[in-house]
Amino acid sequence: MPPTVRPDHLSDEPANSDRFVGGLSESIGGPLGEHAVRQPVRMPGGGRFWTPARVVLLLICAMLSFHWVQKSPCRDAAWVDMKQYKYFCYTDVLALYYAEGLNEGKVPYADHPVEYPVLTGIFMGALGLPVHSLGQSGAVANEGQTFYDLNAIVLGAFGVAAVGAILSVRRRRPWDAAMFALAPALFVSATVNWDLFTVGLAAIAMAYWAKRKPVLAGLFLGLATAAKFYPMLIVGALLVLSIRSGKWRDFFVTVGTGVVTWLAVNVPIALLYYDSWSRFFDFNSQRGIDWGTIWYIGAHFPRGSGQYGFPFFQQLDTDPEHSQLNILYLGLFVICCIGILVLGLSAPKQPRLAQLAFLIVAAFLITGKVWSQQYVLWLLPLAILARPRWGAFLAWQAAEVIYFVSFYGELMGASGRQVFPEGVFVLASILRLVTLCVLVGYVIRDIRNPEFDAVRATYEGEDPDGGVYNDDRDAADATGPPPTAPPATELVKV
């Protein structure tokens, strides 16, 4: 059923436009009617205080605080008797403070190779080395705890920045950003690693693209890619839309600026410490089948009589170089990208940027040989911008939480204390995969049938993230007169 929305000059209200939220609202009397009198709390100067944006920003701060509490049992670094698994509080941030030599004052890349892209290594060193110096001077009693807390604050700031970026491109749909702020996956994964740093940079890049500032978009996209590689996949979405629209100037400005930015961050480290710099690339090319991927499911699927896995998938992990695995997963990803290109060029209306970006990043994770638990953060802003509908989103989030819990059971089993049979973790991995694929299917459906797209319903067919791609409508859409706003007193079915 196509979404029902209020006129375009009013903010979207999920209780009216989203059937799932509307159904939940019935437990407290249902959504406000269009003639209901609203009496917002106002500031002394007369302005409204509790705006949707402020409420969402309060929610993200509260969620990040709850996450810090959830990780608190592990902050003291005294991980004995598998405490980090039993309390679901393991975090790479604290573990790698010691594993990467930051507790010894080692400078990333110069004194110790780092398995992450350069900007993440710089981030680690910029916070870790001062903490070590304070510890040596006696100003800090527990270096690891201080390092984690400092990272939690800075990473939280980038999480707030991601919400701000969503709000800036969804002025008519501010409650969409609440999906990020309230995401269960954010609660369990925010500081498992440094991915929230990259998520914030990538979200800012997309916001600048929407505001038609290609230089700034390229700058932040280059920084994001220098921290983790996944943001460069967004360039694929820009490429599809440039091919379809014929608009190339901003595309080349953004990509060119991004490349220059990435080189400016990487080249000095590569020239000075090549072996350390190249560790990230060597490490990822040599990694085998990781937990929770489709390849892991195939290699560990329960077949009865105590047998697990299929020989084909098990053999893929026996090659020490993993060359066949690399070829297969990259080949599947390329096939998916070709399919997304065909979808983008053949859709009846020009797809929205966030829809294509979400599909590409989702395809990368679905087909990939590595799908770490915190990678869900990559998808959160893209999924929300692509399809801000609560039902399928929460189903996917519930599956992510189930996977998160079962993953810690799997880690305990790998450490010698089995909690449940292997099949339980495989089932949780399948559930995560299926719910994400369902969400992918809905996004494809919205591209093929734009009348189901909630964002287009609010923005009268436009793409609020599209930037320059909104300058002209598709030739197929230009044959009729431009749409006009409906009367303010009517609810409209689009």
Q: What is the pLDDT of residues 172-182, one digit of tens each?
A: 999 999 999 99
Cβ–Cβ under 8 Å, residues 341 and 240: yes
DSSP string, 392-404: HHHHHHHHHHHHH
Q: Is the pLDDT of residue 35 over 70?
A: no
In 3D space, the residue among 114, 128, 119, 122 whose CA is nearest the CA of residue 277 turns out to be: 114
Mean pLDDT of 22-41: 52
Reported confidence tier of residue 77, pLDDT bands at 50, 70, 90: confident
Q: Write out the H or E segment, with its range, that includes residue 433.
A: helix 422-448
Alpha-carbon dihedral 146, 150, 151, 152, rounded to 10 degrees: 100
Q: Token pair of 93, please? A: 């941030």
Cβ atoms 348, 450 nearer than 8 A: yes
From 45-54, 223-232, 334-343, the region with the lowest mean pLDDT:
45-54
The pLDDT, as a whole number, for residue 5 is 46
Maximum alpha-carbon separation in the chain: 73
Residue 452 has pLDDT above 70, yes or no: yes
In a domain, 483, yes or no: no
The answer to whether position 281 is within a domain reads yes
Collapse the DSSP code of 108 into the 3-class scheme (helix H, G, I; strand E, B; otherwise coil) and give the result: strand
Contact between residue 357 and residue 461 where contact means Cβ atoms under 8 Å apart: no
Which range among 30-39, 90-99, 364-373 shows the weakest confidence by mean pLDDT?
A: 30-39
Mean pLDDT value across the chain? 89
The mean pLDDT of 33-59, rounded to a whole number, is 69
Instruction: Compute the distance between CA of residue 114 and CA of residue 283 in angstroms, rounded to an integer.
Output: 10
CA dist., res. 387 & res. 446, Å (int): 8
Q: Which residue range(s) make up the domain with 188?
A: 4-18+51-468
Q: Which band of pLDDT confidence, cut at 50, 70 and 90, is reported for residue 147?
A: very high
Stretch (H or E) spanning 302: strand 302-304
Weakest mean pLDDT among 34-48, 130-144, 187-201, 463-477: 34-48
Q: What is the mean pLDDT of residues 338-347?
A: 98
Tokens of 217: 């978009």
Evaluate if residue 332 carries a pLDDT over 70. yes
Number of structural domains in the chain: 1
Confidence of residue 492 (pLDDT cuts 50, 70, 90): very low
Burial class (CB in 10 A: 0-12, 13-18, 19+), 476: exposed
* Residue 8: pLDDT band with limits 50, 70, 90: very low
Between 184-198, 206-220, 377-391, 451-465, the lowest mean confidence (pLDDT) is in 451-465
What percentage of the chain exceeds 70 in pLDDT? 86
Q: For residue 154, is it within any domain?
A: yes
Domain contains 257: yes
pLDDT confidence of residue 321 = 84
Average pLDDT over residues 368-381: 97
pLDDT score recorded for residue 145:
97
pLDDT given for residue 11 in this prediction? 61
Task: Determine the Cα–Cα distance for residues 461 and 9; give it in Å rounded to an integer.
Answer: 14
**25 pLDDT above the threshold of 70:** no
Over residues 268-322, the pLDDT tens digits come to 999 999 999 999 999 999 999 999 999 999 999 998 777 889 999 999 988 888 8
pLDDT exceeds 60 at position 485: no
Is 46 part of any domain?
Answer: no
b/e string for 324-346 if b means 16 or more Cβ within 10 A? Answer: ebbeebeeebeebbeebbebbee
Share of the chain above pLDDT 90, in %: 80
Residue 198 lies in a domain: yes
Instruction: Find where tokens 């990435």 sit.
Output: 262
pLDDT(164) > 80: yes
* DSSP state for residue 4 in the 8-state scheme: E
Tell me, yes or no, whether 73 lies in a domain: yes
pLDDT at 484 over 80: no
Q: Which of 256, 237, 239, 255 is nearest to 247 (CA)?
A: 239
Look at residue 419 and tell me if it is in a domain: yes
DSSP 124-151: HHHHHHHHHHHHHHTS-S-HHHHHHHHH
Q: How confident is the model at residue 407 (pLDDT cuts 50, 70, 90)?
A: very high
* pTM exceeds 0.85, yes or no: yes
